[in-house]
Structure 1
Amino acid sequence: MKTRLVLGLLAMMLSFGVARAQGLVELRDGASLAFLGLTFIDTSTEGAYNPVRADETARLAMLQDAVQERLEAEGFAMLDLAPVATDLGRIKNPADCYGCEVRIAAKLGADYVVVGEVQKVSNLILSMNLVMRDVASGNAVRARAVDIRSNTDDSWLRGMRYIFKTHFFVEG
């Protein structure tokens, strides 16, 4: 019994130490979260000459679903975006709108807001980022970018899993 208590306390201290070592702010359990989605930015030569690709549109939807599912699995209360649909409809990229993501999330009463981008540099090189902000302060509490190689479902999912594993929800 005493051994379990000591081991439990050591595990808690270790997980707290990992988060502190990375400078991560402790996230509130059961906090409300507004996930405003991911934006696809095609700066590749291919994108300059060709129309939007159906596979990349489907891939972005798949990745957004994966992010939503992970955030829910981590215990966040996901907020319905319907009340701010008009606001979101006027914004091309919620991840690059001079703080509008925080203002929109505040309208919903969210504790946190998450936005992200996937930038296609070429069909081989893509970059993705994800940012979580505390709505009350506007400060980023989680942010990570990763470059991925190859433009496939698997590479996109692997990139986002890496973001979650190494920074958002650090696995000790």
Structure 2
Amino acid sequence: MYDGCRQRVWAYVVSRAGRQVADEVVSETFTVAWRRLDDIPEQPLPWLLGVARNILRDSIRAEARRAMLAAELGAWTGQAEADIAEDVSERSALLKALATLPEDDRELLILSAWQGLTPAEAARVVGCSPITLRVRLHRARVRLKQAASASPLMQEAATARRVSARARITVGKEAR
């Protein structure tokens, strides 16, 4: 089955998402096929393409969640919109700051921002009351803000924003 269908599954994935993700999606597709060997019909290609399609859809959703998490993390630390280079460095710094937090804090932040769960839903996931979760989430956000503000990348970005704001003010005064 692998030898007979791999190239066609790979071509399908490349046509939908490009070469960068094709090998990973094909690998994951055949991993699912291996786990569900009894569910594969006599003609496996359509089934395999459906699995690949679902994996692609899930990866697109995951990328959207990562983008929402980055935006949410930026909002938590009070970051304003900046140019693209600043956004990239800030996102990197925030994700590094998130990685330094304890696992429990990361889980709460991700459940809230990335997964979009309400406090009541997140509380059910972690096994505590919604009030307790809100307190823990607040503390996790504070720790994230502290970790991000200690980052040299975030300090450089903040300096760049202040310089940029001063330049806009100066240009505005000159225009009058």
Q: Same fold (TM over 0.5)?
A: no
Structure with the largest fraction of helix: 2
Structure with the largest fraction of strand: 1
- Tell me which structure has the larger Cα radius of gyration: 2
Query: RCO (CA 8 Å, sep 6+): is it higher in 1 or 2?
Result: 1
